[in-house]
Amino acid sequence: MRKKELYDKVITYFQNAMPVAETELHYNNPFELLIAVILSAQCTDKRVNMITPPLYRDFPTPEALAASTPEVIYEYIRSVSYPNNKAKHLVGMAQMLVKDFHSEVPGTLEELIKLPGVGRKTANVIQSVVFNKATMAVDTHVFRVSHRIGLVPKTCTTPLATEKYLMKYIPKEIVPTAHHWLILHGRYVCMARTPKCEECGLNGLCQYSLKPTV
* pLDDT tens-digit map of 17-38: 999 999 999 999 999 999 999 9
- Is the model's pLDDT at 208 over the cut of 90? no
Mean pLDDT of 45-52: 96
Ordered domains of the chain (ranges, CATH): 30-131 (1.10.340.30), 136-199 (1.10.1670.10)
Tell me whether residue 45 is one of the annotated catalytic residues.
Answer: no
Cα 122–chain centre separation: 7
Q: Out of 45, 58, 114, 139, which one is annotated catalytic?
A: 139
Q: Percent of the chain scored above 70 by pLDDT?
A: 99
Tell me whether residue 139 is one of the annotated catalytic residues.
Answer: yes
Q: Would you say 206 is a known binding-site residue? A: yes
**Confidence category of residue 100, pLDDT binned at 50, 70, 90:** very high
Q: Would you say 190 is a known binding-site residue? A: yes
Q: Would you say 43 is a known binding-site residue? A: no
Q: Would you say 156 is a known binding-site residue? A: no
Q: Out of 3, 88, 121, 164, which one is annotated catalytic?
A: 121
